[in-house]
Structure 1
Amino acid sequence: MIPRARHLLAVCLLGAALTACGAAGGERPAPAASRVSAPPSPARPPVLAPGPGGLTPVFEHGPRTRGKTVALTFDADMTADEGPRAASGEHFDNPGLIDALRTLKVPATVFMTGRWADEYPAEAAALGHDPQFEVANHSWSHYAFTADCYGLPTVDADGMRADVQRAYESLRAAGVPHAMPYFRFPGGCYDQRALRALSGLGVTAVQWDVVSGDAFATDADAVVKQVLDGVKPGSVVVMHCTRSAAPTTERVVRTVVPELRERGYRFVKVSELIGQAGNGR
């Protein structure tokens, strides 16, 4: 007969998946579901400190002396009045571009209008759940926050704050779980009045230091050259995620990414650059 101690050991080894060895009084372990802890909530994304009087801070690029990092950013533009154009078949999304970024394993930041998220909720949700991307706010309407901004309609000062908040609501409704506290002004146009209007929202306004020139471009090689000539350590590159308005962007990305990697650059999200800048690094 097997001694009692050896017998208990054999039972434990054979039945480890069902019972816990050494449980006092032969008690069964708690059901697996009760032992699984809730997933940790995401860490709070880095932001810049407000300016004087609580003015919304503006970020243009990361540190120049902390290695060769570069952030590719993509504006998912759709203006409030462009619904009929989308209904008639115009494409304001660009799945091929997103597939290229995934294939190339390039982390990226997408600045999405609420109207775009309303039009393409499945794509918005997919980006919002993919750890390779971070989704940020590009207003709901894509109307300008200043006068004379590339011919865009304008939002008055009283409506600016509500437009940003409505965009976050659309992102949540589309299934983006954790939209970043970053805001890009439509057209990149802002002034002190616009910065004051957004004070207290806790957002960092994100601009750029490299204009790709992909908007309405038809010559991909010219866009590639402009990006490669402009990138420096810590750069933020602005591009677009709209097939109809930026038809060359996928080709540009497929050329620029391997070339910048060959030059020693590492691709990061905007949040990493903001974190470096906020830490004084």
Structure 2
Amino acid sequence: MIPHVRSITVVCVLGAALTACGAAGSGRPSASSSPAGPPVLAPGPGGLTPVFEHGPRTRGKTVALTFDADMTADQGPRAASGEHFDNPGLIGALRELKVPATVFMTGRWADQYPAQARDLGRDPQFEVANHSWSHYAFTADCYGLPTVDADGMRADVQRAYTSLRKAGVPKAMPYFRFPGGCYDQRALRALSGLGVTAVQWDVVSGDAFATDADAVVRQVLDGVKPGSVVVMHCTRSAAPTTEQVVRRVVPELRERGYRFVKVSELIGQAGTGR
């Protein structure tokens, strides 16, 4: 879960400082793909995990809405007591509006909601990617989240893919989103060799813990540019306004000429221009 105010600071600072860690030469990793799989960014120097923040700015008005399906490893008792970490209404709105989207799902969420994970994973309108198993932070001081030590980072990502497969997601994407968006060079090194592209964003919606849908709508509309990646949440209890936001943002962006795409399409364009 990405709190509104602080997330902007963390992402701006880390994004500026560390995106280059995944780049070689031009400062931006190039995209590659094969018949066997979706596009990914090339590793950085020494095989460092590449980081993707937004698509090209000159390839038309495209925007990717992404949704973090967060559930932390220790939140099982809260789910058992009735707290909703899912959001079927939001998914229904995306389907109704015919908006393709990328869902970054924790393995713990897939374990809790396997039928919904399977449904999303088998629907061509969506693509499901990795958001860790535990939703524990990969750096220190990340919104108070418990942390995964460096030796456990790789295993946590692999465990998430195992949970996604077990839930029935047939083709989880080779994209990974750090819990809280917090990462550093140690984390990027720990995931080297897994073949994943770390996916960040350039528009923070501010839907986490928000109760004012109007403010979230304004923040999204003010922030979107061609090629943008917007981060939102698919967690009813902690992001209760998101469905309302989507129902208002989508028509407005379409009126402005934007086309909604999945993250994979933006990554596929990444080597062809900014």
Q: Is residue 72–residue 237 contact of structure 1 (8 Å, CA) maintained in 2?
A: yes
The answer as to 2:201 corresponding to 1:208 is: yes
In 2, distance between residues paired with 1:50 and 1:103?
Answer: 37
Structure 2 counterpart SS, 1:15 = helix
Structure 1 counterpart SS, 2:135 = coil
Structure 2, unaligned runs of 5 or more:
none
User: C-alpha offsets along residues 168-194 of structure 1, whole Å, 9 cap, x if unaligned?
Assistant: 000000000000000000000000000
Q: Is residue 107–residue 132 contact of structure 1 (8 Å, CA) maintained in 2?
A: yes
In 1, distance between residues paired with 2:170 and 2:202?
Answer: 29
Matching residue of 1:127: 120
* Deviation larger for 2-11 or 185-194: 2-11
Does the C-alpha gap of structure 1 residues 53 and 96 become closer, same or farther in structure 2, counting only changes over 3 Å? Answer: same
Instruction: Return the offset for 1:90.
Output: 0.1
Give the TM-score of the pair, scaled to structure 2. 0.87
Instruction: Return the offset for 1:53.
Output: 0.3
User: C-alpha offsets along residues 234-258 of structure 1, whole Å, 9 cap, x if unaligned?
Assistant: 0000000000000000000000000
Matching residue of 1:103: 96
Q: Is residue 12–residue 21 contact of structure 1 (8 Å, CA) maintained in 2?
A: no
Q: For the aligned residues, what is the CA RMSD?
A: 20.9
Does the C-alpha gap of structure 1 residues 6 and 24 become closer, same or farther in structure 2, counting only changes over 3 Å? Answer: farther
Instruction: Return the offset for 1:198.
Output: 0.1
In 2, distance between residues paired with 1:249 and 1:195?
Answer: 30
Does the C-alpha gap of structure 1 residues 11 and 169 become closer, same or farther in structure 2, counting only changes over 3 Å? Answer: closer
Does the C-alpha gap of structure 1 residues 126 and 42 become closer, same or farther in structure 2, counting only changes over 3 Å? Answer: farther
Does the C-alpha gap of structure 1 residues 53 and 263 become closer, same or farther in structure 2, counting only changes over 3 Å? Answer: same
Q: Is residue 72–residue 135 contact of structure 2 (8 Å, CA) maintained in 1?
A: yes
Instruction: Return the offset for 1:278.
Output: 3.2
In 2, distance between residues paired with 1:164 and 1:85?
Answer: 23
Does the C-alpha gap of structure 1 residues 165 and 25 become closer, same or farther in structure 2, counting only changes over 3 Å? Answer: closer
Does the C-alpha gap of structure 1 residues 21 and 42 become closer, same or farther in structure 2, counting only changes over 3 Å? Answer: closer
Does the C-alpha gap of structure 1 residues 202 and 14 become closer, same or farther in structure 2, counting only changes over 3 Å? Answer: closer
User: C-alpha offsets along residues 188-227 of structure 1, whole Å, 9 cap, x if unaligned?
Assistant: 0000000000000000000000000000000000000000
Q: Is residue 71–residue 109 contact of structure 1 (8 Å, CA) maintained in 2?
A: yes
* Deviation larger for 171-180 or 2-11: 2-11
Q: Is residue 61–residue 226 contact of structure 2 (8 Å, CA) maintained in 1?
A: yes
* Deviation larger for 189-198 or 3-12: 3-12
Q: Is residue 31–residue 268 contact of structure 2 (8 Å, CA) maintained in 1?
A: no
Structure 1, unaligned runs of 5 or more:
29-36
Instruction: Return the offset for 1:108.
Output: 0.1
In 2, distance between residues paired with 1:239 and 1:278?
Answer: 26
In 2, distance between residues paired with 1:245 and 1:2?
Answer: 10
Instruction: Return the offset for 1:135.
Output: 0.1
Instruction: Return the offset for 1:87.
Output: 0.1
Does the C-alpha gap of structure 1 residues 118 and 23 become closer, same or farther in structure 2, counting only changes over 3 Å? Answer: closer
Instruction: Return the offset for 1:11.
Output: 72
In 1, distance between residues paired with 2:166 and 2:36?
Answer: 22
Q: Is residue 176–residue 197 contact of structure 2 (8 Å, CA) maintained in 1?
A: yes
Does the C-alpha gap of structure 1 residues 189 and 22 become closer, same or farther in structure 2, counting only changes over 3 Å? Answer: closer
Q: Is residue 150–residue 187 contact of structure 2 (8 Å, CA) maintained in 1?
A: yes
Instruction: Return the offset for 1:151.
Output: 0.5
Instruction: Return the offset for 1:40.
Output: 16
User: C-alpha offsets along residues 42-70 of structure 1, whole Å, 9 cap, x if unaligned?
Assistant: 75100000000000000000000000000
In 1, distance between residues paired with 2:43 and 2:62?
Answer: 25
Matching residue of 2:40: 47
Bigger Rg, structure 1 or 2: 1
* Deviation larger for 183-192 or 42-51: 42-51
Q: Is residue 21–residue 44 contact of structure 2 (8 Å, CA) maintained in 1?
A: no
Give the TM-score of the pair, scaled to structure 1. 0.85
Q: Is residue 12–residue 20 contact of structure 1 (8 Å, CA) maintained in 2?
A: no
Q: Is residue 12–residue 19 contact of structure 1 (8 Å, CA) maintained in 2?
A: no
The answer as to 2:253 corresponding to 1:260 is: yes
Structure 2 counterpart SS, 1:257 = helix
Matching residue of 1:176: 169
Q: Is residue 46–residue 278 contact of structure 1 (8 Å, CA) maintained in 2?
A: no
In 1, distance between residues paired with 2:237 and 2:6?
Answer: 73
Does the C-alpha gap of structure 1 residues 27 and 214 become closer, same or farther in structure 2, counting only changes over 3 Å? Answer: closer
Instruction: Return the offset for 1:280.
Output: 4.4
Aligned residues: percent identity? 90
Does the C-alpha gap of structure 1 residues 87 and 12 become closer, same or farther in structure 2, counting only changes over 3 Å? Answer: closer
